[in-house]
Amino acid sequence: MAGGRRDGGGNPDESRGPRSVRGSPLPAFGGTPPYGGRHTRLTTLRTMTDYRPPVTDIRWVLENVAGLGEISRIERFAHADPEVTSGILDEAGRFMAEVVAPLSRVGDRVGSRRNDDGSVTTPPGYREAYRRFVEAGWPAAAFPEEWGGGGLPTVVGIALQEMLTTADVAFSLCPMLTRSANELLLAHGSEEQRGLYLDKLTSGEWTGTMALTESHAGSDVGALSTRAVTADDGTWRITGTKIFITWGEHDLTDNSIHMVLARAPDAPPGTAGVSCFIVPKVLVRPDGTLGERNDVTCVSIEHKLGIHASPTCVLSFGDRGEGAIGHLVGELNSGMGYMFTMMNLARLMVGVEGLAVAERSYQQAAAYALERRQGRAVGDETGPSPIVRHPDVRRMLMLMRSGTEAMRCLMYRNGAAIDLGEHHPDPDVRERETALAGLLTPLSKAWGTDMGVELTSLGIQIHGGAGYIEETGAAQWWRDSRIAPIYEGTNGIQAIDLVSRKVAGDGGTAVRRLLDDLDADTAAAGNMVRTHLAAAIDACRQGTDWLLSAKRPDALAAASTYCRMLATTVAGGLLASATLGTGFSDEFLSDKAATTAFFSEQVVSGVPGMLPSVLAGAENLFGVPEERLV
């Protein structure tokens, strides 16, 4: 087998090629983890970058909400105990802040550009940063050890992805899509296919894309019409045009592996007739070396509201006439099922985009609010006071901060559920956690990305007039945030997935268990926090009961609001149920208690008020006939 597969365990560097650090996230780690609180290392970092990795916050959630201790008692994750993980986070934070974060502004201003020959030039600095990213081994960190990865749990991978995304959303999408393509290949590719592509995708030496969407097949993937026909040599010829292909063409690497959905002759209509093909940008010879350029062309890139550095491509397959050469993955007509393989992870990672932009926006807004002086705050002898002392500015900052922390609890617990669902030794735990991961994923994706938009908007508001000026940079996070509620399944589709499959699918078992657990785990919370949570949990239970007996249009009409109320409750409940943990300063823990109290009082308290909207049903929704809507 050409390259790639190694036996598990041991030093991940042993059997690798020339780049000795590839496959390990640990090579450069040497310092001691920062135990003081989110701001202890900031002074140094702040001189270098405007992103300050919230390593202590992340560690606190990993250890006290996501149960990293329990996860690292699983044999395959034994090397990822809290102490080692803390060191990795520290190192990752430094890398993202120093190498990746400085890209975000130039990436926004310059953007990726398509050249006349169909090539795409990324903004200045992206090639060098990507090279260093690969050399340091970060793409492989959370990929299974036996396949050349660092073998970290998914939940730690989520933490790394958070910091990468906060540093630069546009940059982060390239490894994210590569990871998805690679997971697909790992799960459904042949031995030969994995041998040819997997190692290169794991290391990041090549990148991967997911090529699903066509102009008339967006949310309705099954409507796609890209064709695939067999060739004499057993390969396939792909013809068609795909749109919205993230990082579909670029100059970061020598090759890109497109995972393309297409339809074979006589395939059944809809999703049942969709197959998945590997279509490399540059053909790969059996010995792994690069051959001819395949017939895949980037015919244009989109002019977008945000994430300007991420080239969103129209890819044309088979322009030269014969079709692009493709390799069938797995069975014919099974492509849609394969896509679901890594859907939880992919959707969770998009949810993390909401968290990431909110974090970045918060950091900028908080720094501004401490510096900018206007008026005299109540209690100050003289003005002008830093605007952070004005209650309404403080309110916006606390909404951002507490919302970001609550999102992190939800998403990291979601990542942990994926780990436990796949690898816990007890099959009952695996079953329960798998159900939980399925349930939490649409919450992370839909609520997380909606919150990303809302909180980055507050980040602009805190800047006043300066927030509307592009040079300030506050507006970029808001523009960057706006794609996440749309792609990887719109938030409306997430909500439908939630009510139809995740809640109704098991008759409400998983959601009821989750609510019961939250109820029990927050029984000891402070009086005010407990009161609001209990009311929120009760409202969620009522909403759930109603949904389970509702007619389909009524349930669909209620889906988005139900998703929001459940997500808010779960995130707030996880925040409130966190154990305090050891190794954190009193100040840090006091701040956590304060953000928990604020989130309960200001956000969780609003959950019962959403219930009437859920219970309303679809009648008034369709009260205006569609032709009179315009």
Could you say whether residue 478 binds a second copy (CB under 8 A)? yes
Closest CA to 248 of 193, 303, 174, 309: 174
Kindly report the three-state secondary structure assignment for every residue of 15-82. Answer: CCCCCCCCCCCCCCCCCCCCCCCCCCCHHHHHHHCCCCCCHHHHHHHHHHCCCHHHHCCCHHHHHHCH
Residue 393 · residue 378 · CB < 8 Å: no
Helix (H, G, I), strand (E, B) or coil at 508: coil
Alpha carbons 149 and 6: distance in angstroms, whole number: 10
Mark residues 523-542: x for contact with a second copy by CB under 8 A, - for none: ---------x----------
Residues 207-236 that bind a second copy (CB under 8 A): 213, 216, 218-220, 223
Shortest distance, position 441 Cβ to a second copy, whole Å:
18
Q: Please say if 488 is a catalytic residue.
A: yes
Could you say whether residue 612 binds a second copy (CB under 8 A)? yes
Helix (H, G, I), strand (E, B) or coil at 532: helix
Residues 278-307 that bind a second copy (CB under 8 A): 302-306
Kindly report the three-state secondary structure assignment for every residue of 280-295. Answer: ECEEECCCCCEEEECC
Shortest distance, position 43 Cβ to a second copy, whole Å:
10
Name which of 307 and 437 has its Cβ closer to a second copy: 307
Kindly report the three-state secondary structure assignment for every residue of 386-450. Answer: EHHHCHHHHHHHHHHHHHHHHHHHHHHHHHHHHHHHHHCCCHHHHHHHHHHHHHHHHHHHHHHHH
233-to-63, 177, 237, 323 alpha-carbon distances in Å: 53, 29, 11, 14
Alpha carbons 270 and 546: distance in angstroms, whole number: 32
Residue 607: CB atoms within 10 Å? 24
Could you say whether residue 32 binds a second copy (CB under 8 A)? no
Residues 304-343 that bind a second copy (CB under 8 A): 304-306
Could you say whether residue 111 binds a second copy (CB under 8 A)? no
DSSP 622: G
435-to-49, 217, 430, 498, 574 alpha-carbon distances in Å: 40, 29, 9, 12, 17
Could you say whether residue 48 binds a second copy (CB under 8 A)? no
Task: Give the type of residue at 72.
Answer: S
Could you say whether residue 105 binds a second copy (CB under 8 A)? no
Could you say whether residue 464 binds a second copy (CB under 8 A)? yes
Task: Give the type of residue at 453.
Answer: V
User: Applying CB under 8 A, which part among 10-18, 251-259, 350-358, 396-404 lies near a second copy?
Assistant: 396-404
Alpha carbons 398 and 413: distance in angstroms, whole number: 22
DSSP assignment of 106-173: HHHHH--EE-TTS-EEPPTTHHHHHHHHHHTTGGGTTS-GGGTS----HHHHHHHHHHHHHH-HHHHH
Name which of 392 and 431 has its Cβ closer to a second copy: 392
Could you say whether residue 94 binds a second copy (CB under 8 A)? no
Could you say whether residue 389 binds a second copy (CB under 8 A)? yes
Query: Which residue(s) pair with 261 in the sheet?
Result: 276
State the number of binding residues for a second copy (CB under 8 A). Answer: 104
DSSP 268: P
Could you say whether residue 35 binds a second copy (CB under 8 A)? no
Q: Which of 28, 229, 486, 534 binds a second copy (CB under 8 A)?
A: 486
Name which of 24 and 568 has its Cβ closer to a second copy: 568
Shortest distance, position 471 Cβ to a second copy, whole Å:
6
Shortest distance, position 335 Cβ to a second copy, whole Å:
18
Cα atoms found within 13 Å of the Cα of residue 145, Cβ hemisphere only: 19
Name which of 287 and 628 has its Cβ closer to a second copy: 628
Alpha carbons 572 and 557: distance in angstroms, whole number: 25
Q: Which of 115, 231, 553, 579 binds a second copy (CB under 8 A)?
A: 553
Q: What is the dihedral of CA 264, 270, 275, 277, to 10 degrees?
A: 90
Name which of 342 and 559 has its Cβ closer to a second copy: 559
DSSP assignment of 479-493: HHHTTTTTSSS-HHH
Mark residues 119-158: x for contact with a second copy by CB under 8 A, - for none: ----------------------------------------
Shortest distance, position 613 Cβ to a second copy, whole Å:
5
Alpha carbons 458 and 435: distance in angstroms, whole number: 34
Q: Which of 5, 394, 530, 541 binds a second copy (CB under 8 A)?
A: 394
Name which of 334 and 613 has its Cβ closer to a second copy: 613
Name which of 283 and 466 has its Cβ closer to a second copy: 466
Shortest distance, position 366 Cβ to a second copy, whole Å:
5
Name which of 332 and 618 has its Cβ closer to a second copy: 618
Residues 364-383 that bind a second copy (CB under 8 A): 366-367, 369-370, 373-375, 378-379, 383
User: Applying CB under 8 A, which part among 27-35, 185-193, 316-324, 585-593 lies near a second copy?
Assistant: 585-593
Alpha carbons 564 and 560: distance in angstroms, whole number: 6
Name which of 235 and 602 has its Cβ closer to a second copy: 602
Shortest distance, position 578 Cβ to a second copy, whole Å:
16
Shortest distance, position 88 Cβ to a second copy, whole Å:
24
Could you say whether residue 461 binds a second copy (CB under 8 A)? yes
Could you say whether residue 479 binds a second copy (CB under 8 A)? yes
Which is the catalytic residue, given 422, 488, 587, 626? 488
Q: Which of 393, 409, 510, 525 binds a second copy (CB under 8 A)?
A: 393
Could you say whether residue 28 binds a second copy (CB under 8 A)? no
Could you say whether residue 495 binds a second copy (CB under 8 A)? yes
Can you read off the two tokens belonging to residue 470? Answer: 């592009």
Shortest distance, position 494 Cβ to a second copy, whole Å:
10
Name which of 147 and 478 has its Cβ closer to a second copy: 478
Name which of 233 and 471 has its Cβ closer to a second copy: 471
- Using only the alpha carbons of the chain, give its radius of gyration: 24
Catalytic residues: 488
